[in-house]
Amino acid sequence: MKYLLAITLFMFSTVYVMQVHSDARMYKGEENIYAQSKNFIAQHNHNWDFKRSATGIEYIPRFGEENNFSTISWFNSDGSLLFTRPTSALSWIGFSENEKYLIGLSNIKVMNDHQLVVYSNGGDLIHKQRIYIRAFCLPIENYNELIQKYDSELNAYLKYVPDESQSDLWFDESKAYLWTGHPLIAVMRIKKVKREMALCRLPWATGSFRESTSNFIQWFDSSSPKPKLEMLDDEPVGIVLRDLLGTYFEIPFYTDTYDEYGKLLPILQTSPTDR
């Protein structure tokens, strides 16, 4: 079935860049943004006006079927729909150079767990990632020891944590970086564990990254991010794009740190792109 798009197509969306670090009010924007390549068209829309949205919207999984307030769609150039998927609130969308992937970037932080998403041309969500500037950090061996020590507490806690909220860990060759929402941080607070953990800047968070109290995180050149996926064995393993100053930087994609049952796995890799 064909859906004719009576729209004016834009390659890039216009995004207002916040320069301040405090929020006068909660973000309640409604966006409709588009992207076009040689053979395809993409559309994303979201409604973050919580006053007019359903009660309890903050508890609806962003990538679940219940989400009808934020979607992304992929069309052929003739307007025929390939797929529509629920997604997080995005600020920019665009196709990869080979037109096999659709990339979504977001400056929106409030009620929005993921600021980076990648979809395949088959409609699969290939990657989703939270973008943040600072996190608790500790040596990888200490992280592995702690998840073993508090295994039962973590299992109990994870039963009540949505899967899409579990992307709160990133690591490099020596350190694990835990966002404040990571289950281990929650369990340590509950257990009142007094263990030294430094607050570190993420290795890929350039000096131009900015964020407000709760609404926004500014981390890419919203007028022309020029993202390029890094590939390994024909799979995306990272992304290179321009920051707020137009300087290119790379974010390696983290590997899965949960098993099929949602249990935390120890970090065994020496690099987040080792596969």
The reply to whether 234 falls in a domain is yes
Domain limits for position 63: 30-131+210-247
The reply to whether 91 falls in a domain is yes
The number of folded domains in the chain is 1
Cα separation, 128 vs 88, in Å, equals 9
pLDDT for residue 55 is more than 60: no
Question: Do residues 214 and 197 make contact, with C-beta atoms less than 8 angstroms apart?
Answer: no
Which tokens hold the place of 69?
A: 């307030």
The reply to whether 77 falls in a domain is yes
Cα separation, 275 vs 273, in Å, equals 6
Give the pLDDT score at 19.
39
Cα separation, 165 vs 3, in Å, equals 34
Question: Do residues 3 and 84 make contact, with C-beta atoms less than 8 angstroms apart?
Answer: no
pTM for the model: 0.83
Give the pLDDT score at 149.
92
Lowest mean pLDDT among 164-173, 221-230, 237-246, 248-257: 164-173
Amino acid 13 reads: S
Give the pLDDT score at 58.
67
The reply to whether 222 falls in a domain is yes
For β-strands 175-178 and 217-218, DSSP reports them as unpaired
Mean pLDDT of 179-183: 82
Task: Give the pLDDT confidence of 204-242 residue by residue, as tens digits.
Answer: 999 999 999 888 999 999 999 999 999 999 999 999 999
The reply to whether 58 falls in a domain is yes
Question: Do residues 96 and 226 make contact, with C-beta atoms less than 8 angstroms apart?
Answer: no
Question: Do residues 104 and 92 make contact, with C-beta atoms less than 8 angstroms apart?
Answer: yes
Q: How many CB atoms are closer than 10 A to CB 13?
A: 19
The reply to whether 258 falls in a domain is no
The reply to whether 215 falls in a domain is yes
Give the pLDDT score at 14.
33
